[in-house]
């Protein structure tokens, strides 16, 4: 804690450094807090439902393209199910902005209603998500945490070492995967000891 305290004291707190175009908080995957905060069990179930329906399509999209992280408000809009049409109100404009981030083809995946979805080694019936046990919900949230961690680690590495990523023959992604797996193993070990 001493190091953090010293670092915060030495930080430049000049308000003139803040710019309108400064990066905002954004995530490659929905933030875990979206799934656990609030009192509405219905909303939590809807978020899990929409995430499970779109999960593989989103992971494929991230793997196949150079997608950018998404602001938390847009993730909430997406997980609440962005409608096919928008009102001309302010909230309608916000929903339209979120829809533009994800794109119409991806939003369409949440409007298509499969009866079941595959999550790792489990086949989940979407109609009975409200009866999921805590262990399964924990697995879904842990999976989300792992993906967020790995994508943020890759994004940070690309930012700090861009020249390495220009070489198509590099094995940087494999090395990052090994680092992220060892960090996750340390976290798991510390949780269960």
47-87 per-position pLDDT tens digit: 888 888 888 888 887 777 767 788 888 888 888 876 656 66
Tell me if 26 sits within 8 A of 71, measured CB to CB: yes
Q: Where are the domains of the chain?
A: 24-192
Q: What is the DSSP letter of 125?
A: E
Tell me if 154 sits within 8 A of 147, measured CB to CB: no
Instruction: Report the chain's mean pLDDT, rounded to a whole number.
Output: 76
Question: What are residue 122's DSSP bridge partners?
Answer: 119
pTM tops 0.85: no
107-125 per-position pLDDT tens digit: 666 666 778 888 888 888 8
Tell me if 141 sits within 8 A of 32, measured CB to CB: yes
Question: What are residue 118's DSSP bridge partners?
Answer: 123
100 or 70, greater pLDDT: 70
């Amino acid at each position: 804690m001493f190091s953090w305290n010293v670092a915060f004291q030495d930080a430049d707190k000049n308000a003139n450094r803040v710019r309108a175009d400064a990066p905002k908080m954004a995530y490659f995957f929905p933030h875990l807090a979206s799934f656990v905060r609030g009192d509405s069990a219905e909303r939590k179930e809807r978020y899990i439902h929409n995430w499970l329906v779109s999960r593989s399509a989103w992971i494929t999209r991230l793997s196949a393209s150079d997608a950018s992280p998404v602001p938390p408000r847009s993730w909430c809009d997406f997980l609440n199910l962005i409608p096919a049409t928008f009102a001309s109100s302010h909230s309608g404009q916000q929903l339209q902005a979120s829809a533009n981030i994800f794109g119409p083809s991806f939003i369409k995946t949440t409007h298509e209603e499969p009866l079941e979805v595959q999550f790792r080694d489990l086949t989940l019936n979407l109609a009975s998500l409200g009866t999921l046990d805590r262990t399964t919900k924990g697995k879904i949230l842990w999976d989300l945490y792992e993906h967020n961690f790995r994508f943020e680690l890759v994004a940070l590495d690309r930012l700090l070492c861009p020249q390495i990523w220009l070489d198509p023959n590099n094995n940087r992604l494999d090395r990052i995967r090994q680092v992220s797996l060892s960090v996750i193993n340390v976290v798991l070990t510390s949780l269960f000891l």
